[in-house]
Amino acid sequence: MKLTPSSYLVLGMVRLGARSGYAIKKAADASTQAIWPTSLPQVYPELARLEGGGLVTRKDDPKGARARSAYRITDKGEAAFQSWLRSTRVGPLQFRDEGSLRLFFADALPREEQLALVKRLRERALREKNWLRGELIPQAESIPTDPRYPALVGRLGADSWAYWERWFARLEAQINRDGSTNDKTLES
């Protein structure tokens, strides 16, 4: 049985106490969305697979007339999860950004338009940072059972966006100053 990072996301959320598929998706939206997004049509088949492999168990848990399932992690599931956490192979980070791609080709634009593009990128960084600090991190801090790392990962994201914001702000200043972007680095 092959387990992907999405499998471990679902398994991990069950482990932290999310019982239904819906609850797992809700928890993921409030915490791991920025590092590993998922969707309901992915969660439900994944839960069925994990159940088939004996990593979680399912119980009927209707609320009134509304059908609902309650999942729990098994010992086998816990072992698989621990083994994943400890594995030394770090998969490659997947990154794709249309904004950065535009910047890559920005030599084709007049300076004014270059500036507008950089400004949009800086503003996006600001928006993302504010969303993480204002929405995601507070929610991550309220995750049950030892809630240290969820909030920490949120801070890593927020700090990274803050770094981008500063980086683009310096680039804007540089383009405004003399149009030269040939300095060795913009790193602080």
Query: 64 vs 91, which CB is nearer to its own copies?
Result: 91
Q: Which stretch binds its own copies (CB under 8 A): 9-17, 19-27, 46-54, 59-67?
A: 9-17
Is residue 15 a contact partner of residue 55, using CB atoms and an 8 Å limit? no
The verdict on 100 binding DNA (CB under 7 A) reads no
- For residue 167, the partner it binds in DNA, its own copies, none, with Cβ less than 5 to 8 A by kind, is its own copies
Total residues in contact with DNA, by rule CB under 7 A: 26
CB burial class (10 A; 0-12, 13-18, 19+) of residue 43?
buried
Write each residue from 153 to 172 as x if it is in contact with its own copies (CB under 8 A), else as -, in one continuous string: x-xx-xxx-xxx--x---x-
Closest separation between CB of residue 68 and its own copies, Å? Answer: 25
Judged by CB under 8 A, the chain residues 50 through 89 that form the site for its own copies are: 81-82, 84-86, 88
- For residue 45, the partner it binds in DNA, its own copies, none, with Cβ less than 5 to 8 A by kind, is DNA
Give me the long-range contacts of 163-166 (CB less than 8 A, separation at least 24): 164/121, 164/122, 164/125, 165/122, 165/125, 165/126, 165/129
Q: Count CB-CB contacts under 10 A for residue 12.
A: 20
> Residue 128 carries which side chain, given as an amino acid letter?
E
Position among 2, 60, 75, 90 found at the interface with its own copies (CB under 8 A): 90
Cβ within 8 Å of residue 124, ≥6 positions away: 99
